Amino acid sequence: MNRMEDHVLTLAAADRPVALVDEHAHAWSPGSARARFREGLTGPTAGVAAGHTQANLISVPADWAYDMLLFCQRNPKPCPVLDVTDAGATDTVLAEGADLRTDLPRYRVWRDGELVDEPTDVRAYWRDDLVSFLLGCSFTFEWALAGAGVPIRHVEQGRNVPMYVTTRQCRPAGRLRGPMVVSMRPVPPQHLATAIRESSLLPAVHGGPVHCGDPSALGIADLGRPDFGDPVDAAADDIPVFWACGVTPQAVVTASRPPFAITHAPGQMFISDARDEQYRVA
């Protein structure tokens, strides 16, 4: 096992939520969800504020921002850009009145590629030179899958989606390099074509899957041991389906070791005011 894999795997237990979000969270407005997270509620956000777009977050110093932007441009499947802020800005056009320092359930703080804290508020760490990237999240297309009859196992089981570091390398950009991370959803074979079609219509939130079937093709040895999130129970005939994941920048931070970064905790996303439908291409 290499240093990056060892470091990632040691974080897996910390990915489990302190508290699951309320069972009625699908009916919350985006502003109500953000207010609850601002007050300290933590947990995976799959299904929260149904119909509203969720986003991954990574904030880097301004002198790393071009590298990050280039990395996203070269790797649009794991890193589809929804917004990029000005240096030091704590707001986003995706949600009026939101504060990127407080309005996610949980954050991760990184120094020289090492995870140093997982707070629910990053105001104490904020810097005036930070540029924030909000990237599309696969939780966004789950409404389309569910609406088309595709079961969402991790939502049914009240768990965080399982995520895995793969052996598939992203295209490097400047000082940034690293492997693709994927999320996995078990899909019954009769729903596979529907899952591929529905997610492919939403390219701004990762689009269609990058792989279906044998996890070893991505270097994944055991689906029961995700690098982030929780294992899910699959039905006997379910096919594992893998989508590019917005946790990829965190694997890139680990591999590339920028001096400082702030990210969301895996599965605990920023809830925007944008509607999912606006990202559907047909």
Confidence (pLDDT) at 25: 83
In a domain, 114, yes or no: yes
Cβ neighbours, 10 Å, residue 107: 22
In a domain, 279, yes or no: no
Confidence (pLDDT) at 254: 97
What the block records as the tokens of 214 is 């044998």
Confidence (pLDDT) at 129: 98
In a domain, 126, yes or no: yes
In a domain, 103, yes or no: yes
Which residue from 163, 148, 155 is spatially nearest to 198, judged by alpha carbons?
148
Helix (H) or strand (E) holding 153: helix 153-156
In a domain, 266, yes or no: yes
Which of helix, strand or coil describes residue 127? coil
What the block records as the tokens of 242 is 């893998």
The domain that contains 97 carries what CATH number?
A: 3.30.2040.10
Domains contained in the chain, number: 1
In a domain, 238, yes or no: yes
Confidence (pLDDT) at 23: 64
pLDDT tens profile 134-186: 999 998 888 889 999 999 999 889 888 999 999 999 999 999 999 999 999 99
In a domain, 282, yes or no: no
If you search the block for the tokens 């492919």, which residue do you land on? 200
Range of the domain at 162: 3-274
Cβ neighbours, 10 Å, residue 14: 14
Q: Is the pLDDT of residue 102 over 60?
A: yes
